[in-house]
Amino acid sequence: MNLLKGKTTIVTGAARGIGKSIAICFAKEGSNIAFTDLVIDDNARITTEEIKLLGVNVKCYTSDASDFKSTHKIIDKIIYDFNHIDILINNAGITSDNLIIRMTEEQWDSVINTNLKSVFNFTHALIPKMIKQKSGSIINISSVVGVHGNAGQVNYSASKAGIVGLTKSIAKEIGSRGVRANVIAPGFIFTKMTDQLSEKMKTDWLKQIPLRRAGIPDDIANVALFLASDLSSYITGQVIQVDGGINT
């Protein structure tokens, strides 16, 4: 269909998992891809090669998304390399779970900085350019636990709830400039992140899902494609749960 022909997309943390699936889906629709990874490892190299085979321009940048100053430098580099950016996917994220009584300050800070400050960093660095070009779509990856909460994940839930507030606010600030911002809140998706969960936790999650299966990264990529493309040109400030109907 080529829904994104000639566009350029930044995806943070896209060497594997959901970010990789979004990058590949968008490349299949004609978008050039600039993606970031903490360290350029085999995953990043493989993802780069897979995207290259789809016939678009692709480059991976080493970046710690939680770092404000270096994010601004990375955005400048990406704009120099690709000329313009149309779509930003804030995907990079981590977990560091604990009950609040056992949670350390380091666990709190690392999750808030990687999951929430990173969204501020990339959006802050890129938004002046999107406003100038009077177009752009920003998609932030939150989580159903940011909407409903989850025992053992106060840091993660707070970071993901913060993304919802941030996105709804920027949608109001920049809608008049032609820039849209939306949230995807995935449920339980099979990736390395959920692989770390105990078998009991996985079974408990699965029991709660009306569609009776875990999600796969492509379930998220398909919704991201809709939100990035002109198919959703009258949608901004929304949170779309992609969770098999889970009621947490």
The site for ligand NDP (CB under 6 A) is made up of 12-13, 15-19, 36-39, 43, 63-66, 91-94, 114, 141, 143, 186, 188-189, 191-194
Provide the minimum distance between the beta carbon of 68 and ligand NDP in the complex, in angstroms, as a whole number.
12
Find out whether 43 and 15 touch, Cβ atoms under 8 Å: yes
Would you call 88 helix, strand, or coil by DSSP?
strand
Residue (116 or 130) nearer to ligand NDP, CB: 116
Q: Which is nearer to ligand NDP, 112 or 131 (CB)?
A: 112
Shortest separation between residue 231's beta carbon and ligand NDP, angstroms? 22
DSSP state of 189: B
CB of 181 to ligand NDP, least distance (A): 16
61, 80, 156, 234: the catalytic one is: 156
Nearer to ligand NDP by C-beta: 92 or 170? 92
* Beta pairing, strands 87-90 & 58-62: unpaired
Residue 130 token pair: 């999107």
CA dihedral 231, 235, 241, 245 (to 10 degrees): -70
User: Smaller CB distance to ligand NDP: residue 7 or 117?
Assistant: 117
Q: Is 156 annotated as catalytic?
A: yes
CA 171 to CA 185: how far, in whole Å? 17
Q: Where are the alpha helices (DSSP H) in the chain?
A: 17-28, 42-52, 68-82, 105-112, 118-133, 144-148, 154-174, 192-195, 199-207, 217-228
CB of 230 to ligand NDP, least distance (A): 25
Helix (H, G, I), strand (E, B), or coil: what is residue 119? helix
What is the closest distance, in whole angstroms, from the C-beta atom of residue 144 to ligand NDP in the complex?
Answer: 7
Residue type, 22: I
Between 192 and 234, name the residue whose CB sits nearer to ligand NDP: 192
Q: For residue 218, count CB atoms less than 10 angstroms from its CB and return exposed for 0-12, middle for 13-18, buried for 19 or more.
A: middle
Catalytic residues: 156
